[in-house]
Structure 1
Amino acid sequence: MNRGMFLDRDGVINEVLSKRVKFVNKPNDFYLLEGVGEAVKQFNDLGFRVFVVTNQGGIGLGYMKETALAEVHKKMRSELETFEARIDDIAYCPHKPHANCACRKPKPQLIFDLAEKHNVDLAESFMVGDRQPDIEAGKEAGTKTVLVGSREGDQVNADYSFKDLREFAEWLTNNEKAGD
C-alpha cells in the first residue's frame, strides 16, 4: 500500500487572505507559499503520494466556474514542476458552505475517495491543513494530522504543528532518516 500526504490548498500551498489576494478564483490569484515546492519534492522523494484536498465553495456560490478552478490547479502544478515536485491527484468539494454534502471538509470523503483510488494506507498517511476542518477530516479518515501556519492558533487539536509546510517536510525527512 502507498503512503499519502493529503494537503489542503489555500493557506498550506498558496496564499489566501493576504495583502495580495483574498480568495483564489483565477490563476492570477494563485501565489505559491515560500518553501512549498521544496516541501512537496521532499514528500515525493520520501515515497509519499501527494494529494490536494480542498473545499472550493466559490463554485457553489457562483464566484468561479470549475473551468477556472482547473486553470488554477494547472498553474499550481506548473509552479511545483519548477521544483521537480509532483501532485498525484486533486479532489475538491464544489458545494456551497453549509450544503451538508458528504465531500466538504470536515467530512473525510475526499480523503477516503483518494485513498481508495490510489491504494493508500490511511494509518501511515498525513493530512496537513491550516484550519480545524482540515484536522477534523484527517482524524475522521484515520490519518496523522498536521497544522501549519497561524490562521487558527493553538485551539486546533492536531497531532503535530509547524510554522509552514517546509518546516514539517524537514522534520519528517529527519525522522525518516533516523528510522533507517
Structure 2
Amino acid sequence: MVDGAPLRKAVFLDRDGVINRAWIKNGRPFPPPSPADFSLLPGVAAAVRRLHAAGYLIVVCTNQPDVATGRQSREAVEAMHAKLRSWLPVDDIRVCYHIDEHDCTCRKPRPGMLTGAAAALGIDLGRSYMVGDRWRDIEAGQAAGCFPILIESDYSECRPDPPFIRVSSLAEAAAFIINRDTHNESSAMPSVHGLRVKIFADGADLASIERLYADPIIKGFTTNPTLMRKAGVSDYEAFARKVLTIVPDRPVSFEVFADDHGEMETQAKHIQSWGPNVFVKIPVTNTRGESSAPLVRRLAAEGVQVNVTALFTLDQVREITDALHPEIAANISVFAGRIADSGRDPMPIMAEAVEIMKARPKAELIWASPRELLNVFQADAVNCHIITATPDILKKLELVGKDLDQFSLDTVAMFYRDAQAAGYSIDIGRCAAE
C-alpha cells in the first residue's frame, strides 16, 4: 500500500462453492480433489469481471484444511490458484492451511485473511463485501466490518447469524453490490418514477394529506398518536374519519393507543371497522416488553389488516411474520432510521427482513422512520416494499437527479444572500490598524 493513497473498496470471495464447484459429501462442501477437477461455476467469470470493471478489488479468501490433514498437497492448491488467476482478474488470493485446533487468526470465521489483505492492499473494509456460502464466511465478513452476502446452499450445517443478505449466485451478488453502491455513490440518481418501493406519506396534517393524495407517487398514508398530538388533533376517531374521506382508496394506518393487549384488541377491531383500506398499527410489544405476537395472530385470523410497528430486530420480524395469516394483507414496520441512529447499517437487516417475510406473500415490509431522501433509494435497493416519508423528506423529491454543479452554485448563492440579508460586515480598516 502506498502511504497517503485513498483506501479502495473490495469484494472478498470464498472459493469452493462460490467460484468453483464444490464436492459435496454427507451434506458438506469440500474442495475439488485435484487441479484437473477444478472448474468455474456458471456465470462466475462474467460476475467477477463485472465487479472488477466497476472498481472493486477482487480478493479470494479460502480455508484449505485438507493440506493440514494430508488429504491434499499445497502444490495442488497452488496449481488450482494458478488456473484461477489465468481465468479471472483476481488481485489477491489468501489461503489458510490450518485446522481449528491450530487456533490461528486466519482461519474463517476469524477475519485474519480479510484484515491482512486490507492492510496490504489499502482496502476500506467498511465499503467492502464478503461473499460466501457458509457460516464461516459470513461471520468472518461481519468480524472484519464488511457487508456480508450469503450464497444459498442446501448444506447440512449450521446457518450464520444475521445480519446478512441471501442471494442465489455470485452473479446475483454482483448485481446487488453494484446496484447498492450505484445508489449510494452516483451523482445522477434514478428517477423517482422508476422506483419499485412504494412511498407512504407519514403525518397528521389534514391539508397536507389532501395535497399529497393528489400526487400519484404517494401510494398510502401512515400516522401515529405522536404525530397527531403535534398536529393538535384532539378527537382521534373524528380525525381518522376525516382522513378516510380524503383517502378512500389507498392504505391508511391508524394506531391503537392502549397498553393492555386485551384493550388493544378491542380498539383494533373498532379501528378496522372504519374502512376496508384501514390497517391497524399494533406495537410489537407493550410498555412492559410483552410480545404482541399472540394478539397479532388472533387479529390476523379474524381478517384484521395489521401494521405491526416499532420493530428493530430480525428476531422480532421472524416472530411477527409467523403470527400473520398467509391470506390477509399486513405490514411490518421496521424502524430502519432509528437502527441507523444507533450506528448500525440498516440495509443488511432490511434485506434479511425481506427474505424472512417471503413466507407471508401478502405481507409487506415498511422502512420506517427514514432520516433522509437517500433512504428511499436504499429501501429500493434491498427490495423493501414500502417506505414512509415525512413532508420534509417528500419536499426533497424535486431534488432527485439535480445537477450537482448547479446545486453547488445554488448553495454558494444562498450563503451570500443570507449574509447580505443579515447585514453582516467586516471593518477591514479597523482590522488592518490593529
TM-score if structure 1 supplies the norm length? Answer: 0.88
How far apart in 1 are the matches of 2:103 and 2:63? 13
Q: Which residue of 1 aligns with 2:109?
A: 106
CA deviation profile, 1:111-148 (whole Å, cap 9, x unmatched): 01000000000000001110001001001111110001
SS of the aligned residue for 1:98 comes to helix
Pairing of 1:66-81 with structure 2 (within 5 A) = 66-80=74-88
Deviation at 1:170, TM superposition (A): 1.7
How far apart in 2 are the matches of 1:89 and 1:41? 15
Could you tell me which runs of 5 or more consecutive residues in structure 2 were left unpaired when the two chains were aligned. 1-6, 187-434
How far apart in 1 are the matches of 2:102 and 2:179? 41
Greater helix content: 2
Deviation at 1:151, TM superposition (A): 3.6
Q: Which residue of 2 aligns with 1:7?
A: 13
How far apart in 1 are the matches of 2:181 and 2:30? 36
The yes-or-no answer on 1:162 pairing with 2:199 is: no
SS of the aligned residue for 1:146 comes to strand
The yes-or-no answer on 1:141 pairing with 2:156 is: no
Q: Select which of 48, 68, 77 maps to 2:56.
A: 48
Could you tell me which runs of 5 or more consecutive residues in structure 1 were left unpaired when the two chains were aligned. 81-85
SS of the aligned residue for 1:155 comes to coil
Deviation at 1:67, TM superposition (A): 1.5
Deviation at 1:26, TM superposition (A): 2.1
How far apart in 1 are the matches of 2:138 and 2:30? 22
Q: Select which of 1, 17, 22 maps to 1:16.
A: 22
Check conservation: 1:135, 1:158, Cα contact below 8 A: no
How far apart in 2 are the matches of 1:158 and 1:71? 35
Check conservation: 1:13, 1:32, Cα contact below 8 A: yes
Deviation at 1:173, TM superposition (A): 2.6
How far apart in 1 are the matches of 2:65 and 2:81? 15
Q: Which residue of 2 aligns with 1:37?
A: 45
Deviation at 1:154, TM superposition (A): 9.3
Deviation at 1:41, TM superposition (A): 0.6
How far apart in 1 are the matches of 2:126 and 2:30? 34
How far apart in 1 are the matches of 2:13 and 2:68? 21
Q: Which residue of 1 aligns with 2:124?
A: 121
Check conservation: 1:147, 1:162, Cα contact below 8 A: yes
Q: How much is the aligned-residue C-alpha RMSD, in angstroms?
A: 2.0
How far apart in 2 are the matches of 1:30 and 1:4? 24
SS of the aligned residue for 1:90 comes to strand
Deviation at 1:22, TM superposition (A): 5.2
How far apart in 2 are the matches of 1:22 and 1:145? 22
Tell me which amino acid in the other structure corresponds to 1:44: H
How far apart in 1 are the matches of 2:175 and 2:78? 30
Deviation at 1:54, TM superposition (A): 0.4
Q: Which residue of 2 aligns with 1:87?
A: 90
Deviates more, 1:147-156 or 1:115-124: 147-156
How far apart in 1 are the matches of 2:129 and 2:180? 14
Check conservation: 1:131, 1:151, Cα contact below 8 A: no
Distance change (3 Å), C-alpha of 1:102 and 1:49? same
Structure of higher CA gyration radius? 2
Check conservation: 2:14, 2:132, Cα contact below 8 A: yes
Tell me which amino acid in the other structure corresponds to 2:87: E
Percent identical residues: 37
How far apart in 1 are the matches of 2:171 and 2:123? 23
